[in-house]
């Protein structure tokens, strides 16, 4: 087996269990989208135009407290009843918490803006643009794997 086929085989196994696990694919799509948004936030200008920061208030403190409590409870639960799917959702919850902390975008406006790749047409050509397009290519392939896994699920 060539190196490229071996790489694709291993990537499919890790990200979708060869298009058989739709939850695993969804996890990776969301994780790559959050990482892509964080990358754009740090390395591409103009991200503050889409972020509506939540003012410091009791509501924000309550949201953060509930978020941390759910994350802590999930960690303890997963430590006691070890489950791979729960671990993946905890990783996603932690990554989303890091996104909230770094960007202060509790309304997810910037994340939703980053879902649509049309804004890349207005961006100048740079290394950051190439990395962003690579993330979008990975996400597109994972969406294809998600559709295949849902078709496989419906056949069974």
Rg of the chain, C-alpha, whole Å: 18
CA distance 85 to 74: 12
Q: How far is CA 33 from the centre of its chain?
A: 4
> What pTM was estimated for this model as a whole?
0.82
DSSP single-letter state for residue 27: H
Q: Is residue 5 one of the residues assigned to a domain? A: no
Q: Is residue 67 one of the residues assigned to a domain? A: yes
Domain residues for 109?
24-155
- Crossing angle for the helix pair 127-155 and 3-16, to the nearest 10 degrees: 60
Q: Is residue 7 one of the residues assigned to a domain? A: no
pLDDT digits (tens, 9 = 90+) for 61-81: 898 899 999 999 988 888 888
Residue of 45, 48, 38 whose CA lies nearest to 124: 45
Q: Is residue 46 one of the residues assigned to a domain? A: yes
Q: Is residue 14 one of the residues assigned to a domain? A: no
List the structure tokens of 13. 């196994």
Specify the number of domains making up the chain. 1
DSSP single-letter state for residue 17: T
pLDDT digits (tens, 9 = 90+) for 2-55: 888 888 888 888 888 777 888 888 899 999 999 988 888 888 777 777 787 788
Q: Is residue 88 one of the residues assigned to a domain? A: yes
* The pLDDT of residue 128 is above 80: no
């Amino acid at each position: 087996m060539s190196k490229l086929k071996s790489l694709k085989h291993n990537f499919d196994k890790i990200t979708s269990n060869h298009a058989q696990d739709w939850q695993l694919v969804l996890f990776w799509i969301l994780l790559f989208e959050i990482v892509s948004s964080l990358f754009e936030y740090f390395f591409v200008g103009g991200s503050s135009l889409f972020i509506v920061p939540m003012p410091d208030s009791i509501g924000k403190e309550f949201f953060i407290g509930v978020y941390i409590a759910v994350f802590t409870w999930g960690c303890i639960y997963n430590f006691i009843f070890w489950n791979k799917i729960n671990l993946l959702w905890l990783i996603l919850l932690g990554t989303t918490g890091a996104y909230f902390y770094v960007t202060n975008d509790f309304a997810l406006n910037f994340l939703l803006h980053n879902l649509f790749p049309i804004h890349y047409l207005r961006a100048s050509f740079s290394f950051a643009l190439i990395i962003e397009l690579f993330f979008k290519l990975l996400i597109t392939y994972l969406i294809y794997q998600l559709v295949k896994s849902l078709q496989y699920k419906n056949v069974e």
